[in-house]
């Protein structure tokens, strides 16, 4: 068992850190905010931690600073983007990510330019990652249940109805936007600690695609879906190679694309939504059979 | 220095406040470009009154209701609730004043149960604080959730749907879904209930049940504005009727008087028959 855990430790660590990236996108989508700004905040988190760490600042202080800066940036961004919805908002947040990327590349010695920052020395253990991700999951669980969970459901699906029910949609959307940025930055900081580097690719388009894919595959209605999506998408390349089919690893992108297409078509609420639907079908069948 | 005694209104002041209308609209305009959906409408709704709002399709009933609840646009004029001008308020703030409304089409959350849908109405007071505080309290507080649940169950009981609480809206008939919406309104303990065609698509038996419910609520003192095409229902439940045509208020008064008004009859021509006053009424 210990041998198994040791051999998969890097994978578990990668899943945990990337789950935070997926959460940052999932929180926004669940609130009906089509924001991908979590990716820009991921890069802000990675660079803030790296810059401070390389200057000898305490790791915990660096993490707090990374999250705080992302919160402020997200809040200001939410004020600017308050009137945008749907694809327009999505494109505006992609533009924000590009701006972060350009700022990083042109940041000179501070950001290391195109080379990024190397030599970050802030080791993190799997247990520490489990605790951090566990706390974030608890926070998201609280957000999905009870009064706030119901309110966010309505804000996502029917904004004018939400307003008529005394729900301050602007405040809830802003809160989701800022929380998304905070969790993205936390993930970015932990990723820099894990890898020991911060790179301009942290704000690159492929990161957006990966983050969105994890959430779509797992399901954006719950943090559990984002966690499932992160684990599956990161395992997939390893899984395909482990099948041992000659030359299969060259085709993994095709399998990956087909899988996403299949899930998007047949499970629009992601794998979690599919599992929930299956469970409700089983429950209904059980009720039918029990009814004389 | 002002004392508490000095602030307390005198008996005549209290009587005047009770007699004052709950809702006052002055010169309300809703413009869609050059077209006026609501054209300088002024009206007053008394406390505890059940008012009907009638008019042919496109007459501006729903636009007026949307403007009154501030869910829709308000291009001009002023709105006053219980002496307070709320014309510039956002819809969620107006809802916290005590407004509850249903819409022309069913708007329930498919992924929430009937009980949870109704609990959303009861959640109103819990959402008035900062989102962060609500979020943190969600980690621990169970008492508030129990209160929302109790209020929702009471509202479901009022509309006769207590046994449907665990069903999902998509498994219910259209008429039952509309009753769930009314329950959601009632769970918020409203001071003013705005119902936009609540009986549309209902069977006559279901319509009668809703009419009886509205009458009960009126007897309890709840002020209501009812938009409906069913003039016989308007006639049987309302105290006062406002008739709109092309966005203008063309008549108001008792339902029989309004229904027999030549202007109203012209607006409805071919649709409505003369409404005769009940012999016992």
Residues of A in contact with B123 (CB under 8 A): 147, 150-151, 165-166
**Are B266 and B218 in the same domain?**
yes
Distance CA B207, CA B214 (A): 11
**B34 lies in some domain:** yes
> What's the domain range around A52?
12-290
Does B104 map to a domain? no
pLDDT in tens, B172-203: 988 899 999 999 999 999 999 999 999 887 88
- Residues B87 and B121 both lie in one domain: no
**What's the pLDDT at A260?**
82
The domain boundary, picked from B187, B220, B251, lies at B187
**Looking at residues A269-285, what average pLDDT do you find?**
81
Question: Does B42 lie in the same domain as B25?
Answer: yes
Q: B190: closest CA among B277, B72, B86, B100?
A: B100
Asked, for residue B5, whether it belongs to a domain, the answer is no
CB-CB: which of B107, B124, B134 is closest to A148? B134
Average pLDDT over residues A123-136: 96
Considering only CB atoms, which chain A residues are within 8 Å of B184?
A: 165
Residues of B with CB under 8 A from a CB of A: 69, 71, 90-92, 95-96, 99-101, 103, 107, 109, 111-112, 116, 119-121, 123-124, 126-128, 130-132, 134-136, 138-139, 141, 144-145, 148, 184, 188
Co-location of B162 and B269 in the same domain: no
pLDDT tens sequence across A61-85: 999 999 999 999 999 999 998 888 8
How many domains, in total, are found in chain A? 1
- ipTM of the complex model: 0.86
Residues 6+ positions from B176 with CB-CB distance below 8 Å? B161, B164
Mean pLDDT of A192-207: 93
Domains contained in chain B, number: 2
Residue-level pLDDT at A1:
65
pLDDT beneath 50, residues of chain B = 1-6, 272, 279-281
Predicted confidence at residue A287, as pLDDT, reads: 62
Tell whether B116 and B54 lie within a shared domain: no
Of B126, B157, B187, which residue is a domain's last? B187
Structural domain including B238 reads 21-98+190-281
Q: Does A276 touch chain B (CB under 8 A)?
A: no
Mean pLDDT (chain A, rounded) = 90
Q: What pLDDT, on the 0 to 100 scale, is given for residue B281?
A: 37
Q: Is the pTM of this model over 0.90?
A: no
Looking at B187, B218, B238, which one is the last position of a domain? B187
Q: What is the CATH number of the domain that holds A112?
A: 1.10.3470
The verdict on A168 touching B (C-beta cutoff 8 Å) is yes
Specify if B105 maps to a domain.
no
Give a yes or no: residue B232 inside a domain.
yes
In a domain, A3, yes or no: no
Confidence at residue B261, expressed as pLDDT on a 0 to 100 scale:
86
pLDDT at B280: 46
- List pLDDT tens digits, range B262-281: 888 888 765 545 555 554 43
Can you tell me the distance from the alpha carbon of B149 to that of B162, in angstroms, rounded to the nearest whole number?
12
């Amino acid at each position: 068992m210990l041998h198994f855990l040791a051999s998969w430790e890097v994978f578990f660590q990668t899943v945990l850190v990337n789950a935070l990236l997926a959460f940052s996108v999932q929180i926004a989508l669940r609130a009906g905010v089509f924001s991908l700004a979590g990716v820009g905040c991921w890069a802000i988190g990675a660079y803030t931690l790296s810059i401070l760490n390389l200057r000898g600042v305490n790791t915990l202080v660096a993490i707090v600073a990374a999250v705080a800066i992302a919160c402020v940036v997200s809040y200001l961004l939410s004020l600017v983007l308050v009137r945008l919805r749907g694809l327009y908002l999505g494109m505006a947040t992609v533009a924000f990510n590009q701006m972060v990327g350009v700022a990083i590349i042109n940041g000179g010695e501070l950001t290391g330019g195109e080379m990024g920052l190397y030599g970050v020395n802030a080791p993190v253990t799997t247990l520490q990652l489990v605790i951090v991700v566990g706390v974030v999951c608890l926070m998201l669980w609280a957000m999905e249940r009870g009064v706030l969970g119901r309110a966010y459901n309505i804000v996502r699906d029917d904004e004018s109805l939400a307003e008529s029910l005394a729900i301050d949609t602007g405040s809830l959307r802003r809160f989701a936007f800022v929380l998304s940025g905070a969790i993205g930055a936390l993930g970015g900081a932990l990723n820099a600690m894990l890898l020991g580097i911060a790179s301009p690719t942290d704000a690159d388009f492929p990161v957006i695609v990966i983050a969105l894919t994890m959430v779509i595959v797992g399901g954006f209605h719950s943090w559990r879906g984002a966690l499932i999506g992160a684990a599956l998408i990161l395992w997939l390349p390893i899984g395909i190679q482990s099948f041992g089919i000659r030359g299969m690893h060259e085709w993994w992108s095709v399998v990956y694309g087909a899988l996403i297409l299949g899930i998007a078509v047949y499970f629009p609420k992601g794998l979690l939504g599919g599992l929930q639907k299956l469970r409700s079908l089983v429950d209904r069948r059980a009720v039918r059979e029990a009814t004389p | 220095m002002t004392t508490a005694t000095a602030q307390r209104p005198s008996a005549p002041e209290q009587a005047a406040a009770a007699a004052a209308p709950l809702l006052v609209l002055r010169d309300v305009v809703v413009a869609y470009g050059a077209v006026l959906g609501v054209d300088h409408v002024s009206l007053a709704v008394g406390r505890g009154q059940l008012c009907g709002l009638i008019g042919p399709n496109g007459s501006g009933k729903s636009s007026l209701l949307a403007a009154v609840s501030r869910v829709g646009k308000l291009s001009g004029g002023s709105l006053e609730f219980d002496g307070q001008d709320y014309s510039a308020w956002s819809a969620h703030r107006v809802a916290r004043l005590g407004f509850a409304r249903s819409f022309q089409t069913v708007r329930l959350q498919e992924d929430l149960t009937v009980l949870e849908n109704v609990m959303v109405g009861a959640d109103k007071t819990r959402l008035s604080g900062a989102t962060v505080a609500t979020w943190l309290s969600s980690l621990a507080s169970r008492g508030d959730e129990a209160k929302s649940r109790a209020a929702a169950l009471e509202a479901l009981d009022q509309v006769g749907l207590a046994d449907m609480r665990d069903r999902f809206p998509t498994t219910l008939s259209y008429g039952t879904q509309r009753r769930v919406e009314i329950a959601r309104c009632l769970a918020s303990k409203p001071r003013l209930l705005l119902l936009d065609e609540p009986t549309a698509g209902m069977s006559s038996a279901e319509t009668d049940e809703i009419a009886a419910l509205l009458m009960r609520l009126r007897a309890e003192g709840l002020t209501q504005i009812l938009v409906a095409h069913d003039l016989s229902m308007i006639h049987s439940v309302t105290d006062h009727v406002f008739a709109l045509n092309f966005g203008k208020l063309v008549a108001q008064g008792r339902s029989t008087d309004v229904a027999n008004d030549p202007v109203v009859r012209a607006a409805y021509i071919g649709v409505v028959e003369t409404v005769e006053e009940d012999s016992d009424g």
